[in-house]
Amino acid sequence: MNDLLIRNGRLVDPANGVDDMLDLLISGGRVKRIGRRLGDADGVGDAGISRGIQVIDAAGLVVAPGLVDMHCHLRVPGFPAKEDMATGTRAAAAGGFTNVVCMPNTSPTIDSIETLEHVKSLIRERAVVNVLPSAAVTVGQGGRALTDIPALARAGAALFTDDGKPVSDAGLMRTALLTARAVGKPLAQHSEDKSLTADGVIAAGVVADRLGVPGIPRSSEASVVARDVVLARETRAPLHVQHVSNLLTVDVVRFAKDWGAPVTAEVTALALSFTDEAVETMGSNAKIKPPLGSREDRDALRKALCDGTIDVIATDHAPHTLAEKSVGLVDAPFGLIGFETALSLVITNIVRPGTMSLADALAKMTANPADILGIAKGRLTPGSDGDIILIDPGRRWTPDPETYESKARNCPCAGRELFGKVVMTIVGGRIVHGSDSALGGRL
């Protein structure tokens, strides 16, 4: 592992309130020093660095902490045709994610020590970024009996969720919240009332009516969030609301925070960028659960992101095969990929229009999720892990899913011009995406 010196870049570190032209030195896989004009003159400078250190010229680029995604699907074990540990983490690296939490709705479900250890072995062998496996709240995600949450936490589960399915039983959810609080791990809920979702395909509204398909009402999500907020307030157990999608849920989460309930929430970059109108042009490649909402929903999500109601931007990267997504809107599975476009969507739709500063947007993708997870990531403090990305904020590009690192192609961004692109990703001081030769040389 070479030591790295990143020079001439705009260093943006929201956790430490830094936005300045600074150099950054990585040594032994960790951030060693941040300052102005490190390593000048004969290659030694006041940083005490010697010749042979790899120098990366970041002129015109933003240097930021690696992104943290607390909601993605790597499809392992059990679904290698959709994604695998190598392709999924390469896709994450291409999008600037250095730390990701994979969901447990695999085959078998990550609900036992044995399966969790198997996933950890795949991470060690094949992952190019840091992967934190989550574990299911209930056995087999069946909603009937709790998993051994304390044992799974000790074995390394970073988060507990039945993502893809809700924990519908209120008594079980209450006990799960208390147990997760006791072991100091987040409990995240996929909020959905199946009796309200029924056979819904996309968000209820004019687009669903125009297409003649059953709609999913906003209340399917918001009603479960409301119940869980009461449980969190009563038990003082932290609740994380996954992929908030509509204005009713935003109102419930905002009330929860004003009420003093220990609630955090996430939104996907896709939900901030698209509406249900995308289904009319992209078909099943815009079909996700919870569904893309109306323009009014999207505007409410953006406002909630800015005022702190929503804490985190996640991807909910959910790969499916081309065959699965080609059977028509009604029968195709829910889910879209998001690793390789998430940051660009945020820059294009949130930062460039002036809705939020780049630093504030990056906080939602770095320090905030890291803090909820309780991990020392998402910041560039001397001594912290050398997880760093270089972003070209002004680069225009047009996504072509055929060139993605992911196995999947179920992306609604194809052919749409975006701004901002990750040009290098560094994990623990090691370049895992991008070419240093294109950016710099050696002292």
- Choosing from 228, 316, 392, 436, the catalytic residue is 316
pLDDT in tens, 180-231: 999 999 999 999 999 999 999 999 999 999 999 999 999 999 999 999 999 9
What single DSSP character describes residue 95?
Answer: T
Query: Would you call 148 a catalytic residue per the annotation?
Result: no
What single DSSP character describes residue 81?
Answer: T
The closest alpha carbon to 252, from 203, 191, 302, belongs to 191
Whole-angstrom distance, CA of residue 383 vs CA of residue 288: 40
| pLDDT higher than 70, residue 346 | yes
| pLDDT higher than 50, residue 257 | yes
pLDDT in tens, 121-160: 999 999 999 999 999 999 999 999 999 999 999 999 999 9
Go through 418-437 and write b for each residue having 16 or more CB atoms within 10 A of its CB, e for each that does not: bbbbbbbbbbbbebbbbebe
Whole-angstrom distance, CA of residue 377 vs CA of residue 368: 10
Answer for the pair 306, 353: CB distance below 8 angstroms, yes or no: no
Secondary element (H or E) of residue 35: strand 30-35
Answer for the pair 408, 320: CB distance below 8 angstroms, yes or no: yes
Mean pLDDT of 18-46: 83
| pLDDT higher than 50, residue 440 | no
- pLDDT of res. 218: 98
Number of residues in the chain: 443
Q: Residue 40: which pLDDT band, with cuts at 50, 70 and 90?
A: low
Q: In what order do the strands lie in the sheet with 239-241?
A: 160-161, 187-189, 239-241, 263-268, 312-314
pLDDT in tens, 304-337: 999 999 999 999 999 999 999 999 999 999 999 9
Whole-angstrom distance, CA of residue 211 vs CA of residue 279: 9
| pLDDT higher than 90, residue 55 | yes
Phi-psi group of 143: left, alpha or beta (phi > 0 → left; psi -120 to 50 → alpha; rest → beta): left
DSSP annotation string for 391-438: EEEEEEE---GGG-SSS----TTTT--EEEEEEEEEETTEEEES-GGG
- pLDDT of res. 47: 46
Residue 243 structure tokens = 């992929």
The stretches of 326-366 forming alpha helices (DSSP H) are 342-346, 358-363
The closest alpha carbon to 376, from 390, 365, 366, belongs to 366
Structure-token match 């390469």, residue found: 90
Domain locations along the chain: 4-63+386-438, 66-373
Answer for the pair 399, 97: CB distance below 8 angstroms, yes or no: no
- pLDDT of res. 108: 98
CATH-assigned architecture of domain 4-63+386-438: Roll (2.30)
| pLDDT higher than 50, residue 274 | yes
Mean pLDDT of the chain: 95
* Pairing verdict, β 263-268 and 62-65: unpaired
Secondary element (H or E) of residue 27: strand 18-27
Question: CA angle 242-244-248, nearest 5°?
Answer: 135
- pLDDT of res. 242: 98
In one-letter notation, the amino acid at residue 139 is: V
Instruction: Provide CATH code, domain 66-373.
Output: 3.20.20.140
